[in-house]
Chain A
Amino acid sequence: MVQTMNDVKHIQVDAESHLELVRELDIRSTPTTIFINKDGIEVGRAAGTPKREQVLEALEAIR
């Protein structure tokens, strides 16, 4: 869905092969979606699969 937005990049990370990162970011379950703004700062996160509207809302808030 974010493929249609050319100003948004979606990266998926396998939690198990990055456990250090998991601890650092305090990821407790998979999947966890973290929204990062253009300055590289986390502005929101969703544990579990987020709904389409939630993703749109979160992205709208960043822009």
Chain B
Amino acid sequence: MSEILNKPEVAKIYIDARGPRFGAAITTTVLAIALVTQSTWLLAVQGLVFFIGAVRGPQFTPYAFIFKTLVKPRLKKEAPTEDVRPPKFAQAVGFGFALVGVLGAVAGSSAVFTVAVGMALAAAFLNAAFNYCLGCEMYLLGLRFTSK
């Protein structure tokens, strides 16, 4: 359908759009448990997943591995593709919240932990439930304002 996908340098930055949403569903669950149990360790683990997603890309996280091996083979429809850069940025935003939450907890502030986890949880839930990726929406808007 699209000429741009035939170019190898462009095609390699396109990923299966269902992957990040599946990842967001796991993220939502993990963050919800972290919030309820006030577990700094669990948030740190999620932060590590965000870190991998932000640095290497959301298609390289452990959640993406689960998607590729267990979920994707069961999906029958043709894979919708999306540009990897917005979800990659969203992972970086998630990492930021996780980092703030962990640092807050280490510093002894459960309020900072709760707010940071709560915001990351809200964003992950929006993505999982409604396929609305807040970080992705911020990405292009951010670029519009920050670069010439």
Contacts and interface: CB of A to CB of B under 8 A. Distances in A.
A12 B6 CA distance: 11
Give the secondary structure class of B's interface: helix
A16 B143 contact: yes
Interface stretch (B45-53, B61-69, B77-85, B108-116): B77-85
A2 B4 CA distance: 14
Of the four ranges (under 10, 10 to 19, 20 to 34, 35 or more), the interface on chain B belongs to 20 to 34
A12 B137 contact: no
B133 to A, nearest CB: 9
Given A28-B137, A29-B137, A31-B82, A12 B143 contact: no
A22 B82 contact: no
Contacts, number: 45
Interface residues of A, number: 19
A29 B136 CA distance: 8
B87 to A, nearest CB: 11
A12 B81 CA distance: 13
Nearest to A47: B137
Interface string B126-148: 00000000001100110110011
Interface of A: 1-3, 10-16, 19, 22-23, 27-31, 49
Contacts of A2: 1
Contacts of A3: 1
A22 B1 contact: no
Contacts of B104: none
Nearest to A3: B1
Contacts of A49: 17, 80, 82
A2 B148 CA distance: 33
